[in-house]
Amino acid sequence: MSMANLQRMAMQMQAEIARVQQELAVAKVDGSAGGGVVKAVVTGKLELVSVTIDPSAVDPADVEMLQDLIVAAVNDALRAARELGEAKMAAATGGLRLPGM
C-alpha cells in the first residue's frame, strides 16, 4: 500500500470520526430506574440533559430511595450512551481501537 493511499485512508477515517462525534453530540439516550418512575436523558457525549421523576416516587420519608433511583437512572442512561458511542466509533474506524476513543 502506498503512502498516498495510507494518507487518504487516514483522512477518511478522521472525517468519519468527526461525523460520528457530531452525531453523538446531538444523540439523546434514555435510562430509567424503579420501573420507569425515574428517567434520565443524556447525550451521546455523556452530558445529562434531563431527569424526570414521577410524583409517585417522591416520598418525603424516604428521600434516600429517590436519590438511589436518580443515580441508577443516570447511570443506566450513561451506560447506554457509552455503548452507542462505542458502536458508532467501531463502525467509523472499521473496528480499529484508537486510544482515547
Q: What is the pTM of this model?
A: 0.79
Determine the pLDDT at residue 67. 97
Return d(Cα 92, Cα 99) in angstroms, integer.
14
Per-residue pLDDT in tens (0 to 9) along the chain, 101 residues:
688 888 888 888 888 889 999 999 999 999 999 999 999 999 999 999 999 999 999 999 999 999 999 999 999 999 999 999 999 888 887 766 655 55
At 49, which helix (H) or strand (E)?
strand 48-53
Domains and CATH numbers, the chain: 3-92 (3.30.1310.10)
Cell numbers at residue 52, please?
Answer: 424526570
At 100, which helix (H) or strand (E)?
none
Determine the pLDDT at residue 96. 64
What are the residues whose beta carbons fall under 8 Å from the beta carbon of 92, sequence distance 6 or more? 13, 16, 17, 19, 20
What are the residues whose beta carbons fall under 8 Å from the beta carbon of 44, sequence distance 6 or more? 23, 24, 25, 26, 27, 28, 29, 81, 84, 85, 88
